[in-house]
Amino acid sequence: MPSKQTYSFCFCFRRRFRLPVSEAPPEIRTLFDRYSDQNGVMTATHLRSFLAEVQREDNATEEEAQTIIDGHKHLSIFHRRGLNLESFFNYLFSHHNNPPLSPSIGVHQDMSSPLSHYFIYTGHNSYLTGNQLSSDCSDIPIINALQKGVRVIELDIWPNESKDNVDVLHGRTLTSPVALIKCLRSIKQHAFVASEYPVVITLEDHLTPDLQAKVAEMITRTFGDILFAPTSKSLKEFPSPESLKRRVIISTKPPKEYLEAKEVQETEEGPQQEKPADDEEAWGKEVPSLRGGTISDYKNIEDDDVLDDEEDIDEAEKSRQDAADEYRRLIAIHAGKPKGGLTECLKVDPDKVRRLSLSELQLEKAAETHGKEIVRFTQRNILRVYPKGTRITSTNYNPLIGWMHGAQMVAFNMQGYGRSLWLMQGMFKANGGCGYVKKPDFLLKVGQNNEVFDPKAHLPVKTTLKVTIYMGEGWFHDFKHTHFDKFSPPDFYARVGIAGVPNDTVMKKTEKVEDNWSPSWNQVFEFPLAVPELALLRVEVHEYDMSEKDDFGGQTCLPVWELRSGIRAVPLYSRNGDKYANVKLLMRFEFI
């Protein structure tokens, strides 16, 4: 008698090109009966009604419905007449034809507002291939980031060993350098592969004036006409992404002296290493909670001086006199911190705009007492948030604390795979994946009494997202058949939830389905949302392991405000954000 594995293999082999009707969830059968004739045929007229009433595609036409039918006629004995249950089920479960985000709308947000009105896909230490302490520096991570739509590339620039040229490396560590010119040339070659909207290069500058002049020459010669150089010393308002299409922008602090003595001192101090969580290899750390203004991931980390992350301001002021003018003229987005502490840093100057950088810890502390001031600052100016110095293994933090305060550049280690990075990838699936997402109106508006959005306010529920997770499919094709268990099919369950403002954030899970490559859960979850404009739908599939930690079965993260209502095929992704060829879920999204 054949084993259970043999049956499973034969069954799945037959399904390689289509799913059998026997696997269709009960609700799919019910909907097909409702939207088909007595002969079991869903005609173009029926399908158009289904698209309008269930899928909420109000503008769907019969011609579009007929195109869908024509694309699935090989699965139906009725051919052009319409869909049968099998072809209807396979249409719904096709992530190519029925994805959760509309593939046709592309870049659809208004792109004519100032840069400060957008969340921007931002990298941190973009040149590192691995950890922050000893990995190689290379242009390959920069190329990978640009190909995935990242729009802000960070380069730390230092004198090379002979002090006559410029390298990129993580200073005060053991990372091996890469030549700056190689990074610049790679940026130029790959800048607009994934998006035509501007690329910002943020420079952490540790150079002498003569090397700053050399950098200015490199940048000018490499980028030529695509470099955006402002005509005035400072901008009164940032240009728009639309006006800066296919342009490269330089952002850094005003030039200052390279102080070798300080470099030696900081090298000797060195960073401290964090201890990875037990499940970090498979999933990454769970995204830290923002409730109550505390984040458990940050405990026992001291950061007494909220503004002491970069060189002393006095040094910058003294060295401006000697810095290379050519270098200074290239800076379009000026960075730096004024004297006087946090209050002065967050003051809005009506005559010029600038960029302020805060570590994740500094932002957390500032948000406790100056939340509304941060929102007001980010309406005109740019706030960059970067990972704390103890993230040696290139992990990341919860990006929502930055986004809910209007921070445009929430900088992430793009090689730091895990849950936090999945949120970042989910956010920038929005707006056609162009790397710029318009901030919600409430973060940009000023009320009649000059009030702005309060990130600590407890807001009423605006809408409820109802999620039905029917089933999953595709692991048999994309994973080795012994990947999860050597002697039996996998035991899958799903985690479904929301990442958003604190009161919206939650995770739930389905029941476990044992010994099945195509699990059917048929479970419904409801998520009340006070701020759906910042909500991300999180989905993870786990393979239950009684004796060890659960195995990774796929993940995705989707912007709630762009979800297509109705029944959709949701593709899953690997740990590093690559889409699987076949693994997907059948889910339904309703806003009630």
pLDDT tens readout for residues 331-366? 999 998 877 788 889 999 999 999 999 999 999 999
Give Cβ neighbours of residue 84 (< 8 Å, ≥ 6 apart). Answer: 40, 41, 42, 75, 76, 77, 78
Same domain, 411 and 529: no
Residue 493, in any domain of the structure: yes
Structure tokens at 591: 């806003």
Residues in the chain: 592
Q: What is the pLDDT of residue 504?
A: 94
Catalytic residue among 46, 117, 170, 370: 170
Q: What is the pLDDT of residue 71?
A: 83
Residue 83, in any domain of the structure: no
**Mean pLDDT of the residues in the chain:** 86
**Per-residue pLDDT tens digits for 535-585:** 999 999 999 887 778 889 999 999 999 999 999 999 999 998 999 999 999
Q: What is the mean pLDDT of residues 517-533?
A: 95
**Per-residue pLDDT tens digits for 375-417:** 999 999 999 999 998 999 999 999 999 999 999 999 999 998 8
Which of 443, 473, 498 terminates a domain? The answer is 443
Residue 353, in any domain of the structure: yes
Q: What is the pLDDT of residue 483?
A: 86
Q: What is the pLDDT of residue 313?
A: 42
* Active site annotation includes 124: yes
Predicted confidence (pLDDT) at residue 486 exceeds the cutoff of 60: yes
Residue 238, in any domain of the structure: yes
Is the Cβ–Cβ distance between 415 and 393 less than 8 Å? Answer: no
Residue 34, in any domain of the structure: no
Q: Which helix (H) or strand (E) holds 228?
A: strand 227-228
Same domain, 395 and 479: no
369: containing domain: 115-254+322-443
Above pLDDT 70, what percent of the chain?
Answer: 84
Confidence of residue 468 (pLDDT cuts 50, 70, 90): very high
Residue 294 DSSP one-character state: -
Is the Cβ–Cβ distance between 168 and 155 less than 8 Å? Answer: yes
Q: What is the mean pLDDT of residues 432-442?
A: 97
Backbone angles phi, psi at 500, to 5 degrees: -170, -150
Q: Look at residues 392, 376, 374, 394 and name the one whose alpha carbon lies nearest to residue 384.
A: 374
In the block, residue with structure tokens 């909207």 = 197
CA angle at 463 for the pair 461 and 464, rounded to the nearest 5°: 100
Same domain, 468 and 393: no
Q: What is the pLDDT of residue 419?
A: 94
Same domain, 130 and 196: yes
Same domain, 173 and 218: yes
Q: What is the pLDDT of residue 261?
A: 36
> Rounded to whole angstroms, how far apart are CA atoms 211 and 7?
69
**Per-residue pLDDT tens digits for 59-70:** 999 999 999 998
Positive or negative torsion for Cα 433, 439, 440, 441:
negative
Same domain, 467 and 392: no
> Rounded to whole angstroms, how far apart are CA atoms 234 and 255?
14
Structure tokens at 212: 């700053």
Q: What is the mean pLDDT of residues 215-238?
A: 92
Confidence of residue 252 (pLDDT cuts 50, 70, 90): very high
Q: What is the pLDDT of residue 177?
A: 95
Is the Cβ–Cβ distance between 290 and 372 less than 8 Å? Answer: no
Same domain, 368 and 482: no
* Active site annotation includes 79: no
Q: What is the mean pLDDT of residues 26-36?
A: 94
Same domain, 434 and 470: no
Same domain, 508 and 479: yes
Predicted confidence (pLDDT) at residue 9 exceeds the cutoff of 90: no
Q: Taking the model in full, what pTM does it have?
A: 0.86
Q: Which alpha helices (H) appear in 433-558, and where do they start and end? A: 475-478
Residue 587, in any domain of the structure: yes
Confidence of residue 5 (pLDDT cuts 50, 70, 90): very low
Same domain, 474 and 330: no
Kind of pairing, strands 118-123 and 436-438? antiparallel
CATH code of the domain containing 374: 3.20.20.190
Neighbours of 150 (CB within 10 A): 24
Same domain, 407 and 475: no
Residue 150, in any domain of the structure: yes
CATH code of the domain containing 587: 2.60.40.150
Catalytic residue among 124, 206, 370, 542: 124
Which of 395, 418, 443 terminates a domain? The answer is 443
Q: Look at residues 2, 11, 1 and name the one whose alpha carbon lies nearest to residue 481.
A: 11
> Rounded to whole angstroms, how far apart are CA atoms 7 and 9?
5
Same domain, 214 and 333: yes
Q: What is the mean pLDDT of residues 480-497?
A: 90
Q: What is the pLDDT of residue 586?
A: 97
Predicted confidence (pLDDT) at residue 4 exceeds the cutoff of 90: no
What torsion do the CA atoms of 359, 365, 371, 373 make, to the nearest 10 degrees?
-70
Residue 501, in any domain of the structure: yes
Q: What is the pLDDT of residue 325?
A: 82
**Per-residue pLDDT tens digits for 266-324:** 333 344 444 444 444 455 567 766 655 433 332 233 333 344 444 444 444 444 444 56
Give Cβ neighbours of residue 353 (< 8 Å, ≥ 6 apart). Answer: 114, 116, 234, 235, 236, 237, 238, 380, 381, 382
Domain total in the chain = 2
